[in-house]
Amino acid sequence: MNKTENQILVIFGASGDLTARKLVPALFNLYQANQLPDNFVVLGASRSDMTDSAFRNKVVLESTYLADKLKKLEKEDIKNFADKFFYEDLGGSYDTDYGRLRKRVEDLKNKYQTSGNIIYYLSTPPTLYETIAQNLADAGMSTQNNGWKRLIVEKPFGYSLETAKQLNSGLQQFFKEHQIYRIDHYLGKETVQNLLVTRFANSIFEPLWNRNYIHHVEITNAESVGVEKRGGYYDKSGALRDMFQNHLLQIVSLIVMEPPISDAPEDIRNEKVKALKSLRVMESDQELFDNTIRAQYTSSVIDGKQVKGYREEEGVDKDSTTETFAAIKFFVDNWRWKDTPFYVRTAKRMPTKATEVVIHFKTPHHQIFQDSGLDSKDNKLVIRIQPDEGILLKFGVKVPGQGFKVERANLDFYYSSLAETHVMDAYERLLLDAMQGDATLYARADEVEAAWEFVDPILKYWSSGKDVRMYGYAAGVWGPENSHELIEGIGEWRNPGPNLTDDPGFCVIC
């Protein structure tokens, strides 16, 4: 395990929800696993007027997100953890002179011997990113002559290709690219990282991982919740910006990429960028019409409870044309993937919460078992990102008895079977990586822009009004009926159940 250098973590927007809900629990797990540096403090900074002790109460001692974990700890251990937290009120605005903040950081550094290493975590609206970066630079807090300085930013990284470019170049005026860590929490998920290992640590999959053996690739990201209290944000974003441009295209890049020459961050990120750049950008209205579907959930009754439609949600325009369902078919223009369709869909208010990648292999070119029904029983590799994390390989076996009737059997692996292993939460993993200067699982500027290059024309087409339809689907179903039309000639989407093996087909074991 790498040693983590002494440092200070400064969280901007520390009084917001993300700090208490995600960041502090992640730090707590690292504390319990003895992975925090020997000398380490957290300085929360935001516009609320709070003392150090009020901040500790809010994010640690009285936090509902930590309550269960704290119950299991000695008082002294809890105090040791809580004592690492401090707070600095920035006054009425983030756009202010950071001289006082700098002095506070210096004092903490001297008192707790944290050295000059600092991570700035921007847990604020993106509109403030450049302002904060500039004020840090103006106060001399971005220079690396006395310890490294890193800047972590949360998505969204821009609202379009143009704004993403502006944001990148805005930040790069004040921090060098290698100091900027763009967090995408999907990359912190073990199962997403396992895509790399499945492909590149085995010799059985990679020879088949191409257009010669793979018929199509399907990715589903389903959430059962609606927009909850985030209607205001979501209505300006939509499924394509909220999930597809970032999380799902990250997954796509890991499936599409060529083998990197090593596991060094830049080697992996270079291949991911190349993969994203090879997605065929849809240009004509006809292509965009044929290959994209958007929809909104409408009100319905789920488990006897009336559920609001998207347009009735708080913060959502009653005539909104923001999609809560997006399904995209696309191709990858390179040697490996030519003519292999990819189908990716994401939505809120579906029957269950599940994310999975399904690699559909081609049926054998020459079928000797004429009545086997093999066509509908293609080999599949299901990579389950969440929940019930694992991998499932579906292959044909003979049904006992006369003739050659073929059924599908399952070969599966579950993460939960690794009982002794602590699976790190995404934020825990990503924070630790940033603390150790490992940017492998963070998105680079060119990666983000390459993803926007692909998404931008779809968004422009959808907002153009030209022949674009907004379908409806009752909350709690698998999206609009016609979403199957996208998979023409192939069949239907595979609708995942809450468990990895959700189709109780033939079982070899019993």
| Residues annotated in a binding site for substrate | 185, 189, 223, 242, 348, 353
Rg (CA), the chain: 24
CB of 367 to ligand BG6, least distance (A): 39
Q: Which is nearer to ligand BG6, 238 or 480 (CB)?
A: 238
CB of 369 to ligand BG6, least distance (A): 40
Separation of alpha carbons 348 and 339, rounded Å: 30
Q: Which is nearer to ligand BG6, 282 or 357 (CB)?
A: 357
DSSP code of 147?
Answer: B
Task: Name which of residues 50 to 89 contact ligand BG6 (CB under 6 A).
Answer: none
Strand partners of residue 381: 359, 393
Locate the DSSP E strands across 288-368. 292-298, 300-302, 305-307, 325-330, 342-347, 354-361
Q: Which is nearer to ligand BG6, 118 or 500 (CB)?
A: 500
Catalytic residue among 178, 247, 422, 484: 247
- Give the position of tokens 């040791």: 80
For the chain, how many helices (H) and strands (E)? 16, 18
Q: Which of 88, 190, 218, 223 binds ligand BG6 (CB under 6 A)?
A: 223
What order do you get walking across the sheet with 180-183 strand by strand?
Answer: 85-89, 40-46, 7-12, 118-122, 149-154, 180-183, 442-443
Q: Which residues of 454-493 are buried (b: 16+ CB within 10 A; e: fewer)?
A: bbbbbbebbeeeeeeeebbbebbbbbbeebbebbeeeeeb
Residue numbers in the known binding site for NADP(+) are 47, 155
Instruction: Tell me if 181 sits within 8 A of 439, measured CB to CB.
Output: yes
CB of 250 to ligand BG6, least distance (A): 11
Pairing of strands 292-298, 471-474: parallel
* Whether 247 is catalytic: yes
- Peptide linkage before 25 cis (omega within 30 of 0): no
Q: Which of 242, 388, 425, 428 binds ligand BG6 (CB under 6 A)?
A: 242
CB of 122 to ligand BG6, least distance (A): 16
Which residue number is nearest to ligand BG6 in terms of Cβ? 242
Task: Name which of residues 356 to 415 contact ligand BG6 (CB under 6 A).
Answer: none
CB of 234 to ligand BG6, least distance (A): 7
Q: Which is nearer to ligand BG6, 242 or 323 (CB)?
A: 242
Report CA torsion sign: 27, 33, 35, 36.
positive
Q: Which is nearer to ligand BG6, 242 or 433 (CB)?
A: 242
Pick from 169, 130, 237, 164: which is nearest to 450 by CA? 164
Task: Name which of residues 183 to 222 contact ligand BG6 (CB under 6 A).
Answer: 185
CB of 242 to ligand BG6, least distance (A): 5
Residue numbers in the known binding site are 47, 155, 185, 189, 223, 242, 348, 353
Q: Which is nearer to ligand BG6, 223 or 271 (CB)?
A: 223
The residue count for binding ligand BG6 (CB under 6 A) is 3
Q: Which residues are catalytic?
A: 247
Residues that bind ligand BG6 (CB under 6 A): 185, 223, 242
